[in-house]
Every structure is written in C-alpha cells, then in structure tokens.
Amino acid sequence: MDTTQNPAEGSAMAGCIAACNECNRICLQQIDHCLTLGGAHSEPDHISMLLTCASVCRTTSELMSMESDWYATLCDVCAQVCDECADACEELGDMEECAAACQDCAEECRSMVDNGNEEDDEDEDEDEDEDEQEITAGERIN
C-alpha cells in the first residue's frame, strides 16, 4: 500500500472513488434505458461498452479504496475506457447523463495518474523513463 500518501492526494482519491462509483452506477442504470430505446442503443457493442466501463470503474474504485500499489495503473486504463464510453454516448445521443459521468470519471482518473507520477518523480529516480511507457489516453490494445 502507498504509505507516502499526503492529505491532498487523499482528498483527490476520495473524489476519484466517488466519480468511479457514480460512473459504475449510471452505466449499469443506462442498460435498461438503452434496451428500451432499441436500435443502435441496444446493439451488442454499445451494451458491451457500458458493461466494460461499469466493470473497470468498480475495480479501479476498489483498488483505490484499499490503496493498492496498482491503483494508478487502473486509473489510467479507466480514464481511457471512460473516454471511449463518453464518446460512444455522445455519438448515439439521448445519453447525456452517462456521457457526463464518464467524462467526469475520466478526468478524476487522469488526475490520479498525474499525482502518482509526480510522487514517483520526487521519490525515485530509477523510474525516470516510466512516462514513456505509460499508455496514452485513448489507446487500446487490440
């Protein structure tokens, strides 16, 4: 667990956990809405996107809650998933609440990644080339 956590980061983390939980809630709630609307809203790809976003948000929230050493890695992935989900919601239309929750969660997650990296910069020099290997927001493997 991350024992170097300072109060400011603790507060940021609480905000990010809340944003992840809210995004998880809205994505799951929207499945009913999307299946009722039908058409493009109920296509397998869109429902899969909502379920993926809900699932990654939940795990990211839990890793932050237990202050796992891996939370920043999950926050980074979560920000990317949320960005893609927000884009999908905006493209489809009639999903404003979900798009907003995803955008908010992506932003909170990105700020946790930045906090994590700043801490590393202060603490350790051996990880100096880490940023180069960080996944760029919006990139997906596969």
Cβ proximity to a copy of itself: between 25 and 100 the closer is 25
Nearest approach in angstroms of CB 103 to a copy of itself is: 18
To the nearest whole angstrom, how small is the minimum distance from the Cβ of residue 128 to a copy of itself? 12
CA separation for the pair 108, 113 (Å, rounded): 9
Two tokens, residue 101: 């929750």
The token pair at 142 is: 């596969």
Closest CA to 109 of 6, 5, 22, 7: 22
CA 67 to chain centre: 16
Q: Please give the residue ranges that form the binding site for a copy of itself (CB under 8 A).
A: 1-2, 17, 21, 24-26, 28-29, 31-32, 35-36, 42-45, 47-49, 51-52, 54-56, 58-59, 61-63, 65-77, 80-81, 113, 116-117, 119-120, 130, 133-136, 139-142
CA distance 138 to 79: 8
Between CA 109 and CA 142 the distance in angstroms is 22
Report the nearest approach of a copy of itself to the CB of residue 38 (Å).
8
What residues contact residue 90 under an 8 Å CB cut-off, 6+ apart?
99
- Minimum CB–partner distance for residue 95 and a copy of itself (Å): 16
